[in-house]
Structure 1
Amino acid sequence: MNKKYNYKNLKWLWLSILIMLLDIGTKYWVKTHFWIGEVLSVLPGVNCYYVCNPGLAFGLFTNVNLYYRWIFVWIIILVIAMFIVALYKLIERPKCYSMSYSMVIGGALGNLLDRILYGTVVDFIDVHIKNWHWPTFNVADIAICIGISILTIRCYYDLIKNNLY
């Protein structure tokens, strides 16, 4: 059985590295210019609000002990590895698949680095409408959400196009 893999898709890892560096840079800037809990209004409906999130996405599992936090780290490492393998094995797919996988990898690496080094993830983007606030997030979270959204939309499109729905 002769399987062909597309090594060229690994060139998309530059996007993962770029996202990770952008995430690390913005978190570093926030950590050096703000106190935890400090708020700065950036635009109407958008604040820079420095918080540390010991949990997962959107503050889930914030109160778990250290043992479970390391389980999260290993699960995240496994997910990153799965996306890298999926990127490597993509054959004759539109570029949006490679781009979305790379965005998820970069975002996950950015948050993983925080989680390993500090035990928490720095979040600082606060979007709100009057008194209603979306959970605070960061550049890595944006990349992960956009990557998963692109992947979901494209998979749905492919299902409809191929009458598999």
Structure 2
Amino acid sequence: MPNTQSKKGLFQFYPHNLLWLGLSVLAIVLDQWTKWIASTHLNYADPVPILPFLNWTLLHNYGAAFSFLSDAGGWQRYFFTSLAGFVSIIFIFWLMKMPKKMIILPMAIALILGGAIGNLIDRVSLGYVVDFIHVYYQDSHFPAFNIADSAITLGTILLLIDTFFLEKKRIQNAETRNV
């Protein structure tokens, strides 16, 4: 069996990173399954109280995460579809090139990728994204979101942690080894 760890070509991937693609697929499946449940069991814009701060409320989002640009007139569908497709391709390549020792960064990329593709599926097939998680406190309401948005948000938080804390440590370790 050839040593795939030593090859560094553009299309050479590390097999261990298939696990991270599996996390992306899990995020996509959970997202699509919960959106299907919301679409088939909830009435549009009719809140179902779950907790004192949480409703299930079926909404159609024509914008980006958390309804950003949802009232922009229609151009955003094509923009966000193209953007999600382009970013997904880049993230797949980036994810598959991750060294085996890294955990937080590939997890972040996998979650962002899964969330982006989950919402991309909605945008292409429906023309909008299904949102149903509605969090609020008294009269302050957070825009409705879904599992894909949650995966993107969690992935972004992990990416920031990796960038601001772990990357510095990797650079310091590399400099120590090179001395």
**Structure 1 residue runs of 4 or more that deviate by more than 4 Å after TM superposition:** none
Could you tell me how far 1:99 is from its partner in structure 2? 1.4
Gaps of 5+ in 1: none
Could you tell me the TM-score, scaled by structure 2's length?
0.83
Identity across the alignment (%): 35
Query: Could you say what secondary structure the match of 1:140 adopts?
Result: helix
Aligned counterpart, 1:135: 143
Choose which of 166, 176, 179 in structure 2 pairs with 1:158: 166
**CA–CA distance in 2 between the matches of 1:89 and 1:160?**
20
Choose which of 82, 88, 92 in structure 2 pairs with 1:84: 92
Could you tell me how far 1:67 is from its partner in structure 2? 4.2
Query: Could you tell me which amino acid in structure 2 is paired with residue 132 of structure 1?
Result: S
Could you tell me the TM-score, scaled by structure 1's length?
0.90
Larger radius of gyration: 2
> C-alpha deviations, 1:93-141, integer Å up to 9, x for none?
4212221111111111111100011111011111111010111100011
Could you tell me how far 1:75 is from its partner in structure 2? 1.1
Could you tell me how far 1:64 is from its partner in structure 2? 3.0
Gaps of 5+ in 2: 1-6, 173-179
Query: Could you tell me which amino acid in structure 1 is paired with residue 157 of structure 2?
Result: S
Report the aligned-residue RMSD. Answer: 1.7
Aligned counterpart, 2:3: none
Query: Could you tell me which amino acid in structure 2 is paired with residue 143 of structure 1?
Result: A
Could you tell me how far 1:47 is from its partner in structure 2? 0.8
Query: Could you tell me which amino acid in structure 1 is paired with residue 38 of structure 2?
Result: V
Query: Could you tell me which amino acid in structure 2 is paired with residue 3 of structure 1?
Result: K
**Equivalences, count:** 162
Query: Could you tell me which amino acid in structure 2 is paired with residue 85 of structure 1?
Result: F
Could you tell me how far 1:92 is from its partner in structure 2? 4.4
